[in-house]
Amino acid sequence: MTDESKAVLNPGEKVQPDVSKEEAGRLLQRLYGMSAIKVDELSSYDDKNFHIHVDTSNDVNLSENGYVLKILNSLDSKFPEAIEAQNRLILHVADRSICTSRPLPNLRNEMWSLETLERSGDAKFIVRLFTYVPGKIFLGVRYSPSLVHSVGKLAGKLNAACSDFFDPAFSNYKRIWSLTEVPKLTKFVGCLKDVKKEEAVLQVVKEFDEYVMSNYSTLKKGMIHGDLSDNNILIKASSSLPGDYEVVGFLDFGDATEAYYVFEIAILICYVMINAGAEDDPIELGGHALAGYLSEFPLSVADLSVLKICIAGRLIQTLVLGAYTASMEPENAAYVLQTQARGWEQLFLLCARSDQEVFDSWDSVLKLYNLTFKFKETV
């Protein structure tokens, strides 16, 4: 059973592995018997991910699209039972028509291995290989209402696919990115060095505790992806709408956890708001994602009544942990701080609007799709 206190990041910990592109190629050769011909590092908060093209001249079964080699951070590498459960979850949803990268066996026919790295002393890290799914991540494109709606719709299908999955390894496995861990952000607020921002974070933590955590027993619970952010959503050019895109699938189940389904759509809406264009109302745009999600996976009034504060909870997670990670890993600052400017703007906007204003905005969007849901109990 997982010791929850050891599974959550603590201030001062640096957990990202130190591994070069050259070493990634050598790991691939040694563990999977493939010869790397091109290695590109992919962005990641805590892990190291590499897109590797391999020599296919002697094996027609190898993919021309290449593979993704994932070296987990030192913290998650301590919990192989949770990693095995993640693999089972990925295969479970993939078998239910959710497009995602699948884990592949190594030369020992195992889905992961624990390895020492050339520049990491005695520390050991879990290494896995995944199929590479071609496409573009959900960044640098116009977040149109139709595209956002389709992403929400696939998120709802994903949760429906997860609804019959259970693995005891997830029961006590929490990461600092789990929304249940929002109260622990108080340990990290010192890295903000801004009184106004610290006060905003502490107010959200207080409301999250009062309105969300105290009502866990009323919320719909199950397996969630846990990080439907722009970097984990795969899109491609639309075949029917020139200049637009359509959703392909979801990547990286590293934050998957047994939690509350309202967290899933809250996390998605958080990143929709951050990436909304200047011409869009971010809260209204998030309503299109909500409409897509609810069309596939309905939630109760108890869930929807806490959606706004759950979105705020994810906003403060990405803002506080981004600032903290940048202070610990300056070389990774460009990636982890990419949401900062827009994120604070959206947090202050969301907190400035009353629950009723936000609910009314979402309700108006739902009506465009002929959907009716209650956001609070009527007296």
Nearest to 343 by CA among 373, 317, 365: 317
Q: What pLDDT does 365 receive?
A: 98
* Structural domain spans, the chain: 4-131, 136-368
Q: What pLDDT does 210 receive?
A: 97
CATH for the 136-368 domain, from 3.90.1200.10, 3.40.640.10, 3.40.50.1980, 3.30.460.10: 3.90.1200.10
Decide if pLDDT at 49 tops 70. Answer: yes
Nearest to 73 by CA among 103, 117, 39: 117
Decide if pLDDT at 274 tops 80. Answer: yes
Residues 182-201 have a mean pLDDT of 92
- Percent of the chain at pLDDT exceeding 70: 95
Decide if pLDDT at 56 tops 90. Answer: yes
Could you report the per-residue pLDDT of 227-263, keeping only the tens digit for each? 999 999 999 998 887 888 999 999 999 999 999 999 9
Scanning 177-281, the segments in alpha helix (DSSP H) are 195-207, 261-274
The residue annotated as part of the active site, out of 227, 230, 255, 303, is 227
* 149 vs 121, higher pLDDT: 149
Its CATH class, for the domain covering 4-131, is: alpha beta
Residues 24-46 have a mean pLDDT of 94
For CA atoms 233, 287, 308, 142, the dihedral sign is positive
Q: How confident is the model at residue 10 (pLDDT cuts 50, 70, 90)?
A: low
13-22, 65-74, 190-199, 272-281: which has the minimum mean pLDDT? 13-22
Whether the full predicted model's pTM is greater than 0.85, yes or no, is: yes
Q: What pLDDT does 379 receive?
A: 53
Q: What pLDDT does 4 receive?
A: 47
Q: How confident is the model at residue 9 (pLDDT cuts 50, 70, 90)?
A: low
**Is residue 227 flagged as an active site residue?**
yes
CB 281 within 8 A of CB 185: no
Residues 6+ apart with CB under 8 A from 278: none
